[in-house]
Each structure stands twice: as structure tokens, then as C-alpha cells.
Structure 1
Amino acid sequence: MTLSPTLTFNDGHTIPQLGYGVWQVEDGVAEKVVRQAFEAGFRHIDTARIYGNEAGVGRAIAGSGLTPDEIFITTKLWNADQGYEPTLAAFEESLDRLGLEKLDLYLIHWMQPQQDKYVDTWRALIELQKRGRVKSIGVSNFTAKGIQRLIDETGVVPAIHQIELHPYFSQQELRDFGREKGILTQAWSPLGQGGALLEDPAVAAVAAKHHATPAQVVIAWHLAIGNVVIPKSVTESRIQENYAALDITFDEDDVQAINRLDRTAAGGGRIGPDPAVSDFA
């Protein structure tokens, strides 16, 4: 079985570049599909408190026969739990649901600039890392300005930034900012939504070249440009198909063909909320 390559954080720890996401997966389903993901070869699982499926992920971990050293688990702090003390409490609750003694990666789920609690929240994550409760800490859905503020006020650089990122919305500026700061970029909604991306003629052409599926091509593009990527499916055959994207080797022509799909300059491409103005609990 092909093993996912790993990327190294600025704190020295590593993360499997290809992971499995469980957004919008019900808790009762999560146990089954995470088990199938493990069987397909995935060792990196991405969940969050707000997904409501940490317990299901925990059951899959407990029944997998895999040791903590063989898997990589991420979860995220929800917006309503931001603030120093609430973050410490929410972290322990997530760990209890997951059935883990410590976590590989903990993220602030959204910057929430209107709340303006993210610096104190970041200080709590720093404390959790100092206590050895979590190996690595990072952020999700921030702006470059927000990340710079974290660095300026605490001196600690996030290990990773998880953002909406797919060929129609490639986030080049944020990726460049992260690279300059030594922050890895992780893509959520990596295949876009609604199927339009997977039906794009440019994706189809690269898929034909590699005798691959469109989804495999998009995942291979993420891997080729250095993203950590967490595709999600609840269909076992597609979970296996997504993992098999590791066997595709892109050349520069392939990368550029997919790069040209970006719609940011035309004012489009984004699917989810804009972190600069998002404000929801």
C-alpha cells in the first residue's frame, strides 16, 4: 500500500499530506467511514467539535487496532468556545469524546474578528502545547493580517493554516504568505462543491492523460503544489479512489493546466464564508 508523504511543521512534527475529512458526516456514520478510511490507507483524520462526530471518530480509532503513533488526529475549537479559559475546557471535552490522551493538531476553527477573542484563544493553544496535551497548533479560516497579529502578540507562529482551497479558488496570496512564515497550508473543500469542478474540461483532459478520475486529478494537484488535503466521501469505493490519488505523478504541464482554472482574479471562486467578515456562533 502506498503511504501518504508527510510534511514537516515549523515545530518539527510531521503531518500526513493526504488526510480524510468528516465535515457533514453524522456521528453514527463517522465510525463506519473512518474505519473504511483506515482500511483504505488513510492515517490522518480531520474532525471538529462543531461537526458533532468526534465521538464517532473516537470509536473508529478505538476499534482500528492502530496505535496513537500510527495515526494523526486533528480537531478544532468552535467559535462559541473562544477565549482563554473556555478554550482549555473545550479542548479537554474534545479529547474525551475522541478517547485520546493527547492530540496531534488543534486548530482555532474561525478567526471571528468581530468577537476579537482569537489572540487569547491562541494563548490557550500555546499553553496546551506547553503542557504536552497537543503536539502542534494552528489556525483555520484566518486572514494574513489575523495570523500576523497572533505572531506579533505571542511570538508563536501557527504550524498550519486550514482554508477553503480548490482549483477555482487557489488562495495564492495566502499560500505565499504561509510559505514566507513557515506555515503549511491545508485545503478544505478541496474538490469544490456541486460537481462543476469535476466536470471541467481541463480536469477531464488531465484525467484522461493519467487514466484517472477527475477527483483523483484534483487531489493530485493539491499534493503537487504542497497542500495538505482532506477530501471527504461517505462512499467506500470513493474513499479508496481518493487515497489512490497518491499513485498519480503530475508534471509541470499538469500543474499549470489546473492552475489556470483559478477564478479569484475575476472576483469568483469562493464557496464558503469570508474569514475577514465571518461572524457566527
Structure 2
Amino acid sequence: MGQLIKGKPVADAISAALTKEVEELKVKGIVPKLTIVRVGANGSDLAYERGALKRCQSIGIATEVKELPEDISQDKFIEELKKVNDDKSTHGILVFRPFPKQLSESVIKYVIAPEKDVDCFSPVNVAKVMENDQTGFAPCTPSAVIEILKHYNVPMKGKKAVVIGRSMVVGKPVSMLLLNEHATVTICHSRTENMPAVCSEADVLIVGIGKAKMIDSAYVKEGAAVIDVGINVDEQGNLCGDADTDDCVNKASVITPVPGGVGAVTTSILAKHVVKACKQQNNL
């Protein structure tokens, strides 16, 4: 029987370290600041925003929310984003996606200032993840996966890691981050043949496919670490992951629950990136 590994202790440890860093910056007269750019008032955006604001405020990071109308034109959105780029007091920018249909992500991603882009929207930061350039910002959720593995002393170096899912949100970036930790990485997706057999060889299994409880114990090697990045709603209306936790826990050594796993760590990673951006912009 495996152990459920929660995100809260990881988030608390990151936050405690950041609080000290922010206090040291404030002594120098520098206040790190996050500006959130949100179009409309989507429920899941608002839920994440509340968590992010609470986390940043508890650490001492200043915050601002720019709420823009749902029907904003692309030119007007770009104008507003450029204002945030140029705002000297803002060190980190989080832009909520996906956008309404009149806004083109493929255009706007080139507008955000890469040095303030704390959730890897800019292609510059995507390239830095590929190159393992530590001045860049990886997406917060994949970074949270790595922080959890490190916090619970799960070995990655030389281990077989399998990632289920190839999205730019989780699958591809987390694969690069695992590679940067010297894991041997396989990526599975909807066209992978005999996926359970491939997954059941993994020492570390990262699940981000977007299907409720799809991954059962047939996919899990005895003693593997399973990190579930999925957030779904089951038939009873309860939040659940992509892995069937109750089944997988019988074979895994450790597994993250949903809710209370990876999601609990993402806002502290966001805060960590804001502090890092602030230091880099102040040549510290």
C-alpha cells in the first residue's frame, strides 16, 4: 500500500523560504509584484486567481488584477498588455488562457515581456525550458511536479520516467524538466500502442491526459511514484484526477491525491517565479 503525498507541505516549505527572500528585498526598498491579466470572469480562472492572490499576499508579494471585458478587441488587449510590460513596478505577469475566440494566442504570446512572463507563455521561455536555461520560467504546473518529487526525495536521475499527455500545458514541458533532472523520459499519448505496458515500466509516472480516473493499477509498476496532474469531475460531481487513486495506491510507493496534490503547489511556484523575476530585473 503506497503513501498519499500531499502538496501542502511542499507549498508551505516554498512559501517559508520565499517570505524570507521578500523580507530581504524589502530591506533594499524592492517590493516584488505580480500583475494578473484576465479577460472576462471564467469560474476556474477566478478560483486560481483567489489562490494565487492569497499565496502572494501571505508571502509579502504585491498584487494587481487587470480585468478586461470579455469582448475586448485584439488591438485593445495588446495595448493593455504592453502597459503592464512597461510598468516598472510589475515584475511578474500572469495572463489567463484560453482566450475568447477574437483573441489570438499565437499573436499575443510574442507581445508579453519574456522577463516578466512567469508562467511560460512566451516562446522565449519555452525555448529556455528546452535549453535548460535557468534564467527562464517553466510553466508553474510542470514545475510543481518536479518540486513535489524533490520534496519527497523521489529519485529522478537515471530513472525511467513516463509522461502521459503531450500538451504544451503539462506533457511537453514536464518531459523537458524531467530530462533536465537526468531521467530517461518516454512520452505517451492517444496514439501510443499498448500504453499500459509502456507505463508499467516507469519508476516515475506523470499523468496529464485529461480523462477522469483513466489510469488504473495496470499502468503502474510495483513501487513506482505516480504524480497525477489531472483535474476532472466524476459522475458524483466530485473532483478527481486522471488516475484512479484508490486502485493505483495498491501498487505505487507514493501517489499525489486530487484535490490536494499538484494543484496545491502551483501558486507557490508562481510566487517563486515572481520573486526570481524581481531579482533578475534588479540584477540581484
Higher relative contact order (CA closer than 8 Å, sequence separation 6+):
2
More helix per residue:
1
User: TM-score w.r.t. structure 2 length?
Assistant: 0.31
User: TM-score w.r.t. structure 1 length?
Assistant: 0.31
